[in-house]
A and B are shown apart, each in its own frame.
Chain A
Amino acid sequence: MKKILLTFALILLQSQLLSAKTTISWWQFWTDPTIKPVIEEMVEEFEKQNSDIAVELTDLTWANGHEKIVIAFASGNGPDIVELGSDWIAEFAVNGHLSEIKVDDAAQQEFHGWEMATFQSKVYAKPWFLGTRVIFGNRDLLNKAGYAETFAPISLGQFKEAVYKVDSLSKKIYGFGSNAPEKHRSYKKYLPFSWSFDAQIFSDDNRLCLLASDYAVKALNYYKELHDSCGYVANQRGIEDAFLDGKVGFVLSGDWLLKRIENEKLDFNLMSTLIPGDKYPGRSFMGGEFLAINSASKQKEAAQKFIDFITSPENQVKFCQANRSANPSSKTATEDEYFKSNTHLQTFIKQLKIANHPPVDPNWVVYESFIEKAVEDALFNGVEPGTALLKARKKIEAAR
């Protein structure tokens, strides 16, 4: 009996030794059928190159991914590697849930977006790919409104005029796609106008909240005028549906719209241009997807190796091609022919250089909710823009 037990134990031990692989877990958001196979392919390739490491992939959804990550970290069950939106990094870093990433000069030079992952002078995540918003226009409607084939609005005045002209084409055509209040989304539509009017959220030394400055009020009045006079109001998806249906002249959107036009094989006469501004071009919103390592991970070295692999220029190009993403974080990847050959992708690349990101602040999610409420109140609840912004500023000041 003892012999049998001993043999059994030895077999178990041997099988354990043979399969002594380091397993790292990665939580990510890309579940779309066009991109998921590419992600899996990359993971497979990594495992082939690193036979001692296995990667366990878990999908998250945008609807509740953030909540899942928070609960996992709070209960000590977070993954080794997690994909984080740029707005979330500080929130996790301040509570010690993320591992600091050492960035050498080469990496500093090669990747865009480190500033969004830097909290209290430490870097907590590696930029994977970035995102911004540009103005998309319906060229056919612009032509009908009397504009030349090459027209693109440059100043805020020109943009407003074009919006009005398109809007006046017919009762069923709207000049501008105006977002209904949506969490984490509405403020991204107002801020580009605010920045393009030279407004700031905080002062340069970060001590004062400038949300209700004259510039900001002017910007919200401008945005409200587009909304009130020419706005097709719906959620982001609804606005894009109407835009692709030929009912809306201009929308502020991201590179996913290019993917949609391509996937749905739409014959659409698209115009893309930079955010207009009085000192052309205007400033857009910048965000991004980052890969961070759990501070409680026991596989930090393997995790870092995997992050470096996934964010390599070659893999970023592969990812962007599959996802039609316009802004890889790698500067080398940006030089790829894929990006150079597409004028719309070039618009995004140019806009990213003239884009702001929200402050890296653990309380940002709270501040953004105040800004969204101010925009909602001004656009939908009849509150005067200055009053709405002032109220939001006071709330932010109280929360700081």
Chain B
Amino acid sequence: MQHKKTTALLLALPWIVTLLLFWLYPIIYSFVVGFTDRQLLSKTWQWVGFDNYIALLSDESFLTALKNTSIFVLGTIPVTTIVALLLALLVNKQFKGRGLFRAGYFLPSITSMVVVALIFTNLFQRGGYIALLAEMLGFTPPQHGFLLDSSTALYSIMAMDIWMAVGYYMLIFLAGLKSIPQELYEAAKIQGAGQVRQFFSITLPLLKPVALFILVINSIKSFQVFVEIFVMTQGKFETSTMVYFIYESGLTTKFNFGYASAAAYILFLIVAVFSFLQFRLLKNRGTV
């Protein structure tokens, strides 16, 4: 028995070591550092209590990042979820070339974010295809390009993000749709329920666990938006987000680890509360 335990421990050791070194230690370390004035190049640092947290709450850059992140989360999640569901319903139907559409919608989500961001940077620029399209539709595109204008930059990135993410969530919805027993639809049909009624009375309630999963995963991902901001605008034109702010404070300029760690814990708290509320909201409706 002892031998078996040792073997099990040895087998689990690589994972345990990885967890301790690269997960647990940084989590505890950054939590502690958040209460200090630690700067990377400085050889000394002091305990400052909640000073970093207090300073953050009156830091204009942090508040802007918080505002932008909120816009990003609240703007992308509903649209992504609804579009993904609609696409899933569409490609769940039998038609010629269905596989091609499924693959086509899914393709962006397996493409590197950096590559997509670079392509879209070109598309969004002055005289780019999106500007031409806007002109064709009768809109006046921003003078210097969509990403060089504070009123359009963040929304342009959000649009790209939605385009990129819907395929992935479509696939999850599709898996959810496949798990709904066909007998339910047959029974509903016999009782005279139309397609709309079937959708609201069968499909949607049974998809709620999947929707909750998508909402939580997508929220966490959206709160952590970074790569697209880094590649496309470097936080300029009112596009700085929470993670970009953390990167800027902790890994560039002053390398202020203490300040950045405090900001990271505020983000953690927001994500935790947001996820908890999502769970409670859908659980209370008796779906999970």
* Residue contact A369 to B251, C-beta cutoff 8 Å: no
Contact mask for chain A residues 71-95; partner B; CB cutoff 8 A; 1 contact, 0 none: 1011000000000000000011001
Least CB distance, A362 to chain B, in whole angstroms: 9
Is the CB–CB distance between B148 and A95 below 8 Å? no
B237's partner among A67, A181, A363 (CB-CB below 8 A) is A181
CB distance from B229 to the nearest CB of A (A): 13
Chain B residue with minimal CB distance to A66?
B252
Within residues 15 to 63 of chain B, which ones have a CB less than 8 A from any CB in chain A? 40-43
Cα A369 to Cα B235 in complex, Å, equals 12
What 0/1 pattern do residues 240 to 276 of B give for CB contact below 8 A with A?
0000000000011111000000000000000000000
| Number of residues of chain B lying within 8 A (CB) of chain A | 20
Partner of B254, one of A73, A182, A366: A366
In the complex, what's the smallest C-beta–C-beta distance from A151 to chain B, in angstroms? 29
Q: How far is the CA of A71 from the CA of B237 in the complex (A)?
A: 29
Contact yes or no, B41 A97, CB < 8 A: yes
Q: Roughly how many angstroms separate A91 CA and B143 CA in the complex, as a whole number?
A: 39
Chain B residues near A183: list those with CB within 8 A: 234, 252
Q: B144 an interface residue at 8 Å Cβ cutoff?
A: yes
A234–B149 Cα gap in the complex (Å)?
Answer: 11
B153's nearest neighbour on chain A, judged by CB, is: A380
Contact between chains at B236 and A95 (CB < 8 Å)? no
Is A376 positioned at the interface, with any CB of B under 8 Å from its CB? Answer: yes
Judging by beta carbons under 8 Å apart, are A366 and B253 in contact? yes
Alpha-carbon distance A92/B40, docked complex (angstroms): 11
Tell me the minimal C-beta distance from B235 to chain A in angstroms. Answer: 9
A146 within 8 A of B: no
Q: Known contacts A71-B40, A95-B41, A381-B150; can you find 12 more A-B pairs with CB under 8 A?
A: A67-B251, A67-B252, A70-B41, A70-B255, A74-B41, A74-B255, A180-B148, A180-B236, A233-B143, A234-B144, A365-B253, A365-B254
Residue pairs across A and B with Cβ atoms less than 8 A apart, 19 shown, are A66-B252, A67-B251, A70-B41, A71-B40, A74-B41, A95-B41, A95-B42, A96-B43, A97-B41, A180-B144, A180-B236, A181-B236, A233-B144, A365-B254, A366-B253, A376-B237, A380-B148, A380-B150, A381-B150
- Contacts from B to A (Cβ < 8 Å): 40-43, 126, 143-145, 148-150, 234, 236-238, 251-255
